[in-house]
Amino acid sequence: MYVPCTVKSKSMDTKTKRIDLRASEQDEKNILRAAEKLGTSKISETIFNSVAEISNTEPELFLINRTAIRQLQANIEQGLKLLQDIVSQFLKIGISISIEEIQSFYGAGRLSFMIPNQEVIREMIISKLFVAQRDRYPGLQFQRDNIQVPDLTELLEIAGRLINVPEVANREVGIYWNCYEIVEGKINIIPEQVEHFKNQFRAYASTPDQRAKLAKVKTLCRALDAFMSDKDIPPEKLNIPGVCFYDLESGRFEPSDQYVLYSLTKKNLTFND
């Protein structure tokens, strides 16, 4: 099947503005099914409408918590330095360590959050030194009790600093362990993981309902922007909780994710006796 399509594109020949496609039998069937769903009669119209429909399904970014993202970045950078200090201490002792092993030093509960367990650290060091010594002298018998443990004062003091990483969005989040890796004794940041956590402070409209709400509240925001020149009305006084708010950083009104993504009304709850 030969499919000629007329397009308007700067990347195409300015005289013909055409794309020539060769379609298989299966491609032809797919185009006919798409035409039926879209209610189109021309092949080019079907293709372009299909492309437009797919492109419009991309989530639309409408809200960025810039403050939280800056705090997260500060947390990541401070964590990088502190974790490197710990790794360096282990290398001074003569043993390697993984991110997972460092994480195992710290409690996750409310009373032990980011507090290093000194006994766990000591036992891990003894175990690693024991294995290293046994591997170095395979013909000799060694006992764990005979392992000479170096002075761990500096290591334990450094390990206690991890709790001091910056808060993010007014929450003590500790270290974002998944954002780091150790390569040849050096702590590296994993950009993809950092972006994953930053994305938690961005809001996207994905469904048709969300897009409709977003379009509506955007119109409201631009209308409220007109009041910014009125010195008698501070912009923040025009905030509509859950719908839109004045963003000091962008200098304009922005949509709230509460309205766009969720609901402003509580559903009635039914309780069983």
Q: Following CA atoms 64, 66, 71, 72 in sequence, which dihedral angle do they give, to the nearest 10 degrees? A: 30
145-165 confidence digits (pLDDT tens) = 777 889 999 999 999 999 999
φ and ψ at residue 203, rounded to 5 degrees: -120, 140
Cα torsion angle, 160, 166, 172, 176, sign: negative
Q: How many helices (H) and strands (E) does the chain have?
A: 9, 8
Taking alpha carbons only, the member of 59, 70, 78, 76 closest to residue 206 is 59
Confidence label for 10 from pLDDT (cuts 50, 70 and 90): very low
* CA 263 to each of CA 62, 207, 209, 242: distance values in angstroms, whole numbers, following the listed order: 17, 14, 12, 9
232-260 confidence digits (pLDDT tens) = 999 999 999 999 999 999 999 999 999 99
Q: So what's the pLDDT on residue 54?
A: 62
Between 2 and 51, residue with greater pLDDT: 51
Q: So what's the pLDDT on residue 43?
A: 77
Domains of the chain, residue spans: 2-57, 64-199, 207-261
72-84 confidence digits (pLDDT tens) = 999 999 999 999 9
CA gap 15, 10 in Å, rounded: 11
What average pLDDT is seen over the chain? 85
Q: How many CB atoms lie within 10 A of CB 180?
A: 22
Q: What contacts 177, CB < 8 A, 6 or more positions away?
A: 99, 100, 103
The predicted model scores a pTM of 0.72
Q: So what's the pLDDT on residue 142?
A: 67
Checking if the pLDDT of 272 tops 50, the result is: no
178-196 confidence digits (pLDDT tens) = 999 999 999 999 999 999 9
Per-residue pLDDT, averaged over 253-270, amounts to 80
Checking if the pLDDT of 127 tops 60, the result is: yes
